[in-house]
Chains A and B, each alone.
Chain A
Amino acid sequence: MAAKSRHLASPTSEPASVRWMLILVGLAFMALFIVLPVIAVFSEAFRQGLGAYWESLHNADAQSAIRLTLMVAAIAVPLNVVFGVCASWAIAKFEFKGKAFLITLIDLPFSVSPVISGLVYVLLFGSGSILGPWLKSYGIEILFAVPGIVLATIFVTFPFVARELIPLMQDQGSGDEEAALSLGASGWQTFWRVTLPNIRWGLLYGVLLCNARAMGEFGAVAVVSGKIRGQTTTMPLQVEMFYNEYQGTAAFALASLLAMLALVTLVLKTALEWRFGDELAATGRGH
């Protein structure tokens, strides 16, 4: 029956020609706007050869930027994990007034421009404020120092872990915890031995995304850092500095590390989705 007339087209699909055209248009758009910039980072980084690349990564400024970035992430991410677990425990396991409003509030930092996220700390701790000079009199520097950078980073990465865990724990309900408690487990035992194993993949997923943003944050950190070379420049800020000083290779070499971080994050995230897709929160992928 090779009566391959137009009639053989399925009523719920498009002709092959249309299909391939749409695929091509979609892929071309993605290639141009999404993939090309990533490729460009690496090609610019290696433009002057491997030696120049290697050298620019061993530059003292680059090294101190890498150290600072790792340190900031090492403080900000765990704090947001503790917050994320607490918030999702309170929201998923209990019914209380104002819950929906609280969930909206947690997402708030996503709708604030990163620059504003930094600005609020400048206004809170800056020279014109009450807090800043007072703390300074005790020798505590917040602004243009590491604490400010950490605070700004926490602000922008605030929702990541919580918004991953809340829907996940809501889906799982409280049955397991109630069973554990009825068997005589204490609250802590229940959390460590029942809840945590249930949410570990979702937690890892949230940590991945939170960490990627924490290490890559630019706008908020730029505002509070003061950009003191070797002291308060994180990797993205150092990238900007090199770039503005026309040190293209150095800028892109450092940027390539951040791009690598992004790619690794993406690979792990995708692996988690493929492997544990049904265990991760069904809602709100993205961000």
Chain B
Amino acid sequence: MEVRVQNVRKEFDRFPALHDVSLDIASGELIALLGPSGSGKTTLLRLIAGLERPTAGKIFFGNEDASEKTVQERNIGFVFQHYALFRHMTILENVSFGLEVRPRATRPPKAEIRRRARELLDLVQLSGLEKRYPSQLSGGQRQRVALARALAIEPRVLLLDEPFGALDAQVRRELRKWLREIHDRTGHTTVFVTHDQEEALELADRLCVMSQGKIEQVGTPDTVYDTPQSPFVFGFIGESSALPVTIENGDIRLEGRSIGVSTSEPNGSAQLYFRPHDIELIESDAALSGHVVTSRRVGGTRRVELDIGGAHRVEIDLPFDHPAAERSQIVFRPRRWTLFPDR
């Protein structure tokens, strides 16, 4: 089921949470809504679910206008950060609930409901725990029950709100991989919200990066990482350093000195963004030069913080055994970089 969000605006008590957001989600894709808290990502997810009503705009499921439908009628699967399991029901009853509450005409027979619930518990690898209560399960197990429960109603879209946010790092990584497998097997159109870029980059087919109620960029993880379209995206996804530069006839200068890279951008001031590992060490005057402030080994690389004068500090990565790491002065220039002209 494809989902189209069309010019949606949402205000809470006159406070705008989303400004005119549009997003097309392809059938069967796994898309991540990524952003810091307050970026509107959860609001967007809840609007798609029908848990909130848009102030303006429409949401389509396929060709059908879902804006006019209640959350019950939308037939979506929603997974909450804190599981939201029904604590007075067994695991099996939790998973069966969505089918049990259907009107008599569309409700499958009891035996069929139980069979499907068991099948789903099998899918989420919780067979044998049918008779347990949620309080008797671990956090990771509870979230898997929550997913099985959401899948039981054969949802048209699966929506997950920070599904791994309450779990510890180890379990998070396991569940992440496992969610991807489930998605590949069931093929549900899936939207999940996260503030964890690593999670989004690893899991999603596409990312939708949000900030302050707006969509900053939508694209595959590679595109978003390699060609960020805004300073926000550059800063939010992956590591980066930013420098205020000026452009003079295609030459990029920091505090009046050329740094040895050129551009076709018109003259003016701009922000130069680059990633710590996208640099090259050179021997030249036309480059960035700074003295080492700190130097830490992180796994196979050495992260060096440089003071390049004028109160500017940048971080660069070197192979941990590179001789330059021993020096107090390092000269380099960005190999790949992006300019965002000031306005």
Contact = CB atoms under 8 A, between A and B. Distances in A.
The answer on A and B forming one complex is yes
Interface of A: 1, 3, 5-9, 11
Contact of A7 (B51, B55, B56, B68): B68
Given A7-B53, A11-B70, A11-B71, 12 more contacts: A1-B54, A1-B55, A1-B56, A3-B68, A5-B68, A6-B70, A7-B68, A7-B69, A8-B53, A9-B70, A11-B51, A11-B72
A8 B68 CA distance: 9
Contacts of A3: 68
Nearest to B69: A7
Contacts of B68: 3, 5, 7
Nearest to A6: B70
A211 to B, nearest CB: 40
A3 B56 CA distance: 10
A181 B144 CA distance: 49
Nearest to B70: A7
A6 B71 CA distance: 12
Majority SS at the chain B contact face = loop
Contacts of B53: 7-8
A240 B87 CA distance: 50
B50 A11 contact: yes
B313 to A, nearest CB: 41
Nearest to A11: B71
Interface string B267-301: 00000000000000000000000000000000000
B98 to A, nearest CB: 14
Majority SS at the chain A contact face = loop
Contacts of A7: 53, 68-70
Nearest to B49: A11
A31 to B, nearest CB: 33
Contacts of B72: 11
Interface string B52-87: 011110000000000011111000000000000000
Nearest to B9: A1
A5 to B, nearest CB: 7
A7 to B, nearest CB: 5
Contacts of A5: 68
In the complex, the 5 A-B pairs of residues with the closest C-beta atoms, listed nearest first: A11-B71, A7-B70, A1-B56, A8-B53, A11-B51
B71 to A, nearest CB: 5
A1 B50 CA distance: 16
A8 B52 CA distance: 9
Contacts of B56: 1
B62 to A, nearest CB: 19
A8 B72 CA distance: 13
Nearest to B57: A1
A3 B50 CA distance: 15
Contacts of A6: 70
A220 B219 CA distance: 78
Interface string B25-69: 000000000000000000000000011011110000000000011
Contacts of A1: 54-56
In this complex, the member of B51, B53, B55, B69 whose beta carbon has the largest number of chain A beta carbons within 10 angstroms is B53
A8 B70 CA distance: 8
Contacts of A9: 70
A218 to B, nearest CB: 40
A7 B54 CA distance: 12
B230 to A, nearest CB: 30
8 contacts: A1-B56, A7-B53, A7-B68, A7-B69, A7-B70, A8-B53, A11-B70, A11-B72
Contacts of B51: 11
A64 to B, nearest CB: 56
A11 B70 CA distance: 8
B161 to A, nearest CB: 15
B153 to A, nearest CB: 15
Nearest to B55: A1
A241 B141 CA distance: 66
Nearest to A9: B70
Nearest to B72: A11
A8 B51 CA distance: 10
A5 B68 CA distance: 9
Contacts of B70: 6-7, 9, 11
B131 to A, nearest CB: 29
Nearest to A12: B51
Contacts of B54: 1
B238 to A, nearest CB: 38
A234 to B, nearest CB: 47
Interface string B134-165: 00000000000000000000000000000000
Nearest to A3: B68
Contacts of B50: 11
B20 to A, nearest CB: 14
Contacts of A8: 53
Nearest to A5: B68
A67 B53 CA distance: 65
A1 to B, nearest CB: 6
Contacts of B55: 1
Nearest to B53: A8
Contacts of B69: 7
Contacts of A11: 50-51, 70-72
In this complex, the member of A1, A5, A6, A9 whose beta carbon has the largest number of chain B beta carbons within 10 angstroms is A1
A205 B66 CA distance: 54
Nearest to B73: A7
A58 to B, nearest CB: 58
B6 to A, nearest CB: 14
A216 to B, nearest CB: 39
Nearest to A7: B70
A4 to B, nearest CB: 10
